[in-house]
Structure 1
Amino acid sequence: MLKDEYFVFTGTLTAMTRKQAQSIITGLKGHNQGSVTKRTTRLVTGYFPIDLIKGYHPHRSF
């Protein structure tokens, strides 16, 4: 049971759709949120390209 657990999904989920993942959470009595708040207890991070991180500059060493 995930009672009193509040989930936020971010990034691209590779094993299932976001809707499927949220349905599982709801089925286990958890709560889905659209964004992080004080109530958030679980942050599920999917895949996201590293270059989307603000200020990211790749470093190459040869």
Structure 2
Amino acid sequence: MSEIFFNGLNTSHMVARELLSKPDEFITVTVGNREYSISHTKMIKTHANVDDGVMHKTLVCEELEGNIVR
């Protein structure tokens, strides 16, 4: 499995374009030495300013335990 590194600020289209250029396969999120599955996306406030009403998408993940069954 190859690793894809995203540096800096990215858009959903940049992520989609990268993923769609590869064969379809199972995907997880790794942070440090922990692995997560993506359960869904949701919109949250961008925390640039307290009174800012700007929203962005976030991936909502769940920690995986044990072996991944594909």
Fold shared, TM-score > 0.5 on shorter chain:
no
TM-score of the superposition, structure 1-length normalised?
0.28
If asked which structure has higher relative contact order (CA below 8 Å, sep 6+), I would say 1
Larger radius of gyration: 1
Which structure has more helix as a fraction of its residues?
1
